[in-house]
C-alpha cells in the first residue's frame, strides 16, 4: 500500500507552481522559505524566513491568502451582534464561532460552538461538525485584549484555517484581528483579504497597524532601508540553519 507523503519539500521554479501536498509544503523560493497549503475553500502561503541574498534561479515567493469565494462581511456583522446579545459588559464571557461554507450551495454560514465560557476563555465543542470543518474560527476577547494570546496560539495549532478575535464588543469601537494558520505557522492579515467588503462598525486592527507602519517608514525616508537591512542581516544565520535542517 502506498502511503501518501503528507508534507512535501521543494524548490519554487514558477510563481504559479501549484500546491500539491495533502497537508502542507515547505518551499524554498528566490527570496525566502515559505509554507503553503490548500483546501477546498482556500489556499494560503506564509513566509517563514526571508533571504538577504536572493537565489536568481528560483521564482520569488509571496505570502498570500486566496479564498474560492470571499466571506460576506455581513457574516462578521451578524456574529458581532450575536456576541453582544449573549453577554453584557458587566458580566462578559468569551464566545466562539465557526464560519463554514456549505458544500452544496457554496454559501457561508456561522454557528456558535462554545462548550464552556468564562471571562478569559472559551472551549469549543470539538465534536461539532461546524467546528471541525470551519474556514474561520473566531472568538471574542475581554475588553482591551487586542492581541492573540499565548493560549490562542496553543489552541489554534495543528490546523489550516483562518482565525479571528473580536475585541471591545460592547464599546462604540469594536475591533477585529484576523490571521491565517498553516499548522503552527501564523500570519496576521487585514479583513479585506477574506471578506467581500469592509465589515461595518468594526475596526480592522491589522489594517490599522499596517497603515501606521507605512506612515513611520515614510517619515523615516532614506533611513528606512537601513533599519530593514539590519533586520535582514540578523536573520541571515537563521535562514541558513533553517535550510540545512530541512
Q: Report CA-CA distances (Å) from 156 to 6, 15, 59.
A: 20, 29, 31
Give pLDDT, residue 225.
Answer: 53
Higher pLDDT pick, 153 / 219: 153
Task: Name the 3-class secondary structure at 173.
Answer: coil
User: CA 4, CA 241: separation in Å to the nearest integer?
Assistant: 28
Give pLDDT, residue 2.
Answer: 64
Give pLDDT, residue 229.
Answer: 43
Q: pLDDT digits over 60-104, tens only?
A: 999 999 999 999 999 999 999 999 998 888 889 899 999 999 988
Residue 4 has what DSSP assignment? P
Q: What is the mean pLDDT of the chain?
A: 87
Q: What is the CA radius of gyration of the chain?
A: 20
User: Is residue 235 within 8 Å of 52, Cβ to Cβ?
Assistant: yes
Domains of the chain are 7-67 (no CATH), 73-211 (3.40.140.10)
User: CA 126, CA 149: separation in Å to the nearest integer?
Assistant: 20
User: CA 95, CA 84: separation in Å to the nearest integer?
Assistant: 10
Give pLDDT, residue 88.
Answer: 87
Least confident stretch, 6-20, 119-133, 173-187: 119-133
Global pTM value: 0.85
Q: Report CA-CA distances (Å) from 61 to 33, 221, 234.
A: 8, 26, 21
Q: What's the whole-number mean pLDDT along residues 26-31?
A: 96
Task: Name the 3-class secondary structure at 136.
Answer: strand
User: CA 97, CA 218: separation in Å to the nearest integer?
Assistant: 38
Amino acid at each position: 500500500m502506498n502511503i501518501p507523503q503528507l508534507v512535501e519539500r521543494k524548490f519554487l521554479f514558477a510563481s504559479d507552481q501549484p500546491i500539491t501536498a495533502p497537508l502542507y509544503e515547505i518551499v524554498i523560493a528566490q527570496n525566502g522559505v515559505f509554507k503553503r497549503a490548500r483546501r477546498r475553500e482556500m489556499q494560503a502561503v506564509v513566509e517563514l524566513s526571508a533571504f538577504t541574498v536572493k537565489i536568481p534561479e528560483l521564482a520569488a515567493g509571496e505570502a498570500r491568502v486566496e479564498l474560492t469565494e470571499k466571506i460576506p462581511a455581513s457574516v462578521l456583522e451578524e456574529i458581532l451582534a450575536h456576541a453582544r446579545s449573549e453577554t453584557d459588559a458587566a458580566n462578559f464571557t468569551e464566545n466562539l464561532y465557526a464560519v463554514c461554507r456549505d458544500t452544496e450551495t457554496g454559501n457561508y454560514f456561522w454557528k456558535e460552538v462554545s462548550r464552556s465560557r468564562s471571562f478569559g476563555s472559551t472551549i469549543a465543542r470539538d465534536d461539532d461538525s461546524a467546528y471541525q470543518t470551519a474556514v474561520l474560527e473566531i472568538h471574542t476577547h475581554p475588553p482591551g485584549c487586542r492581541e492573540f494570546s499565548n493560549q490562542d496560539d496553543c489552541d489554534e495549532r495543528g490546523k489550516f484555517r483562518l482565525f479571528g478575535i473580536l475585541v471591545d464588543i460592547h464599546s462604540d469601537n469594536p475591533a477585529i484581528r484576523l490571521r491565517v494558520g498553516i499548522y503552527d505557522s501564523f500570519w496576521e492579515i487585514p479583513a479585506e483579504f477574506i471578506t467581500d467588503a469592509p465589515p461595518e462598525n468594526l475596526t480592522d486592527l491589522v489594517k490599522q497597524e499596517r497603515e501606521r507602519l507605512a506612515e513611520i517608514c515614510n517619515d523615516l525616508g532614506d533611513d528606512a532601508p537601513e533599519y530593514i537591512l539590519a533586520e535582514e542581516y540578523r536573520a541571515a544565520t537563521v535562514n541558513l540553519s533553517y535550510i540545512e535542517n530541512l
